[in-house]
Amino acid sequence: MNNNRKIFTQIYDDYVDRIYRFIFFKVNSEEIAQDLCSETFLRGWQSFNKKQEIENPQAFLYQIARNLVIDHYREKGRTQTVSADYALITDPGQDLERQALVNSDLDTIKLALTGLKDNYQELVVWHYIDDLSISEIAKMLKKSEGAVRVTLHRALKSLRNNLEES
């Protein structure tokens, strides 16, 4: 295996779950999310193979994924929604009543997220679901850490308002 393939294979292994989760959160369909995730990495590979070096692979892949999701909705003329099935917690050791309560809370939060602006949704997902740091998000968005913190604070305030209204 040549060096480019080894490097990109490592990039794929490091980011495939995050990219898939991000896309799935946006499109509400496993099949579409799988297709768009595959397309993201195909385009990433094509660019990587030409340039041979990508300064920030994570930001690069998220940008491709964001653009593919936007193109998907442009083609279909649909609005973005969050799936009620996204990341439901099921632990066989947990009793059914507890699982139902946790899943109900997750559903409430996911529905509140759908009322947020796209950039707010992305920040909340990246920071709280994908566990990206403020500095990682700032690099991805090419913004200052302060700007990301302020936007994340506004996103959480908006999410809180949405939750209070539900």
**Domain residue extents for the chain:** 1-81, 84-166
Residues in contact with 52: Cβ distance below 8 Å, sequence separation at least 6, in sequence order: 4
Q: What letter represents residue 54's amino acid?
A: I
**The whole model's pTM is what?**
0.67
- Count Cα neighbours of 124 within 13 Å in the Cβ-side half-sphere: 23
Tell me the C-alpha distance between 42 and 157, whole Å: 37
Out of 1.10.1200, 1.10.443, 2.50.20, 1.10.1740, which CATH number does the structure's domain 1-81 have? 1.10.1740
DSSP state, 85? T
CATH class of 84-166: mainly alpha
Q: Which of 5-14, 52-61, 73-82, 119-128 has the highest mean pLDDT?
A: 5-14
pLDDT in tens, 97-155: 555 554 555 667 667 777 788 888 888 888 887 788 999 899 888 899 999 999 999 99
Q: Which of 77-81, 104-108, 109-113, 159-163 has the highest mean pLDDT?
A: 159-163
Structure tokens given for 133: 């740091």
pLDDT in tens, 1-25: 578 888 889 999 999 999 998 888 8
